[in-house]
């Protein structure tokens, strides 16, 4: 059990957001501390382990300068990316959508914003003419676009949800 997670490969293979034993374990282990740090309670929208390690970079737990800057940069980035996605939807630029999805996936994953990340991954796959999981091809652009539209909306919603939580966490509302 323990050793299964020791290799990056293992780790990765478990590391889908849903059920990695590691992540669950970590989160559990941190629960007690979360209470004290006031980490945003956002259910599964935020992977606390990941977010916490960003919080740990803060020199000052009151100011939270660093993590705040990261998080707020992300807000901007996300908004901008969603705008670009909307534009790309208009132009039916699947490839661009896929790239944007990937792009936002990277940063949302870094912040541990699991839900947003998952949606972005879907966007990436749909944009690449794949199905949701990226394993099968979906040659029909219209189908992909339709899915994209839906998923982008979903991603936006998820983003705004988590944004609210985070803004509250940073006392910025």
Partner 1 sequence: MAADLKVSRLTKVRRLMRRGSSNSSARSASIAKEQQHSPPALNSRQPRRSASLTKLAEVKEQQLHCLDSTDGAVQTNNNNEHRRGSATASQPTADRRSETLLSGARQPGTATSSTSALIDLPTPVSQKPQPILTVEEPTPDPIAPARTSADDHTEDARESLDLAHPLPSPQQSSVRSRPIAGTVRRQSLVNSSNARVVKSLLDQEQRPTTASSQEGYFAPSTFDPNMMHRKIWVKRPGASATLVQIREDDLVDDVRDMILRKYANSLGRTFDAPDLTLRIVPRDASRDRERLLEPEEEICRTLDHYFAGGQHVDEALLIDIPQRRTPKPSPRAGPGHQYPYNFDEPSRPVENGTDYFGTAAMAHSPAALTTVSHDSRASHATQNPAQHPHDRAMAVLTTGVVPPLPSPGGRTRTHQVARPRTTRTHTSSPTTIVNPGFSTRPSRQRRDSTASDSRPGNPATTRLKRRPQTDKPRHPQPQTASPPPRPKRPARESADPSPPPRSSRDTLSAPIHGPARQLSPPINVLIVEDNIINLKLLEAFMKRLKVRWATAMNGRAAVDKWRGGGFHLVLMDIQLPIMSGLEATKEIRRLERVNGIGVFSLNGPASSGTPGVGGHAAAGGAADGAADAESGGHIVGEEDRLEAEKLFKSPVIIVALTASSLQSDRHEALAAGCNDFLTKPVNFVWLERKVKEWGCMQALIDFDGWRKWKHFSEDQVTPKAIDKSQKNAAARPAVDEKQENERETGRGRKEEGAAGARGAGSDGSAEAGERDGSEIRENEEAEAETETEDHAQR
Q: Taking the CA of residue 169 as centre, how many other CA atoms within 13 Å lie in the half-sphere pointing to its CB?
A: 26
CB count in 10 Å sphere of residue 42: 21
Q: CB 164 → partner 1: shortest distance, Å?
A: 19
Instruction: Based on the shown chain and the rule CB under 8 A, indicate whether residue 129 belongs to the binding site for partner 1.
Output: no
Instruction: Based on the shown chain and the rule CB under 8 A, indicate whether residue 103 belongs to the binding site for partner 1.
Output: yes
Alpha-carbon dihedral sign for residues 87, 75, 46, 4:
positive
Q: What three-state secondary structure class fits 113?
A: strand
Q: CB 100 → partner 1: shortest distance, Å?
A: 11
User: What's the CA gap between 55 and 46, in Å, rounded?
Assistant: 13
Query: Of the ranges 59-67, 83-91, 139-147, 165-173, which one interacts with partner 1 (CB under 8 A)?
Result: 59-67
Residues 28-57 touching partner 1, rule: CB under 8 A, are: 28-33, 37, 47, 49-50, 52-57
**Which residue, 57 or 146, has its beta carbon nearer to partner 1?**
57
Burial of 49-59, coded b for 16+ CB within 10 Å and e otherwise, reads bbbbebbeebe
Instruction: Based on the shown chain and the rule CB under 8 A, indicate whether residue 69 belongs to the binding site for partner 1.
Output: yes
User: What's the CA gap between 38 and 155, in Å, rounded?
Assistant: 25
The DSSP output letter for 16 is: S
Instruction: Based on the shown chain and the rule CB under 8 A, indicate whether residue 102 belongs to the binding site for partner 1.
Output: yes
List the one residue from 39, 46, 85, 109 that touches partner 1 (CB under 8 A): 109
Instruction: Based on the shown chain and the rule CB under 8 A, indicate whether residue 111 belongs to the binding site for partner 1.
Output: yes
In the structure encoding, which two tokens stand for residue 141, read together?
A: 């652009």
Q: CB 125 → partner 1: shortest distance, Å?
A: 10
Find the helix or strand (DSSP H, E) in which 12 lies. helix 8-14
Binding site for partner 1 (CB under 8 A): 1-9, 11-13, 15-16, 21-22, 25-26, 28-33, 37, 47, 49-50, 52-61, 66, 69-70, 73-74, 77, 99, 102-103, 105-107, 109-112, 117, 121, 134
């Amino acid at each position: 059990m323990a050793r299964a997670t020791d290799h990056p490969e293992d780790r990765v293979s478990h590391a889908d957001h849903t059920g990695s034993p590691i992540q669950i374990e970590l989160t559990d282990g941190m629960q007690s501390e979360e209470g004290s740090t006031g980490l945003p309670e956002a259910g599964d929208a935020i992977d606390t382990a990941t977010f916490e390690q960003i919080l740990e970079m803060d020199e000052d737990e009151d100011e939270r300068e660093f993590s705040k800057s990261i998080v707020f940069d992300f807000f901007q980035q996300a908004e901008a990316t969603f705008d670009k996605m909307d534009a790309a939807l208009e132009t039916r630029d699947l490839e661009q959508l896929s790239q944007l999805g990937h792009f936002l996936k990277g940063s949302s994953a870094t912040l541990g914003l699991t839900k947003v990340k998952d949606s972005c991954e879907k966007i990436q796959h749909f944009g690449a003419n794949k199905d949701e999981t990226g394993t099968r091809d979906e040659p029909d652009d219209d189908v992909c676009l339709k899915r994209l539209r839906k998923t982008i909306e979903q991603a936006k919603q998820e983003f705004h949800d988590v944004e609210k939580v985070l803004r509250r966490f940073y006392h910025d509302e």
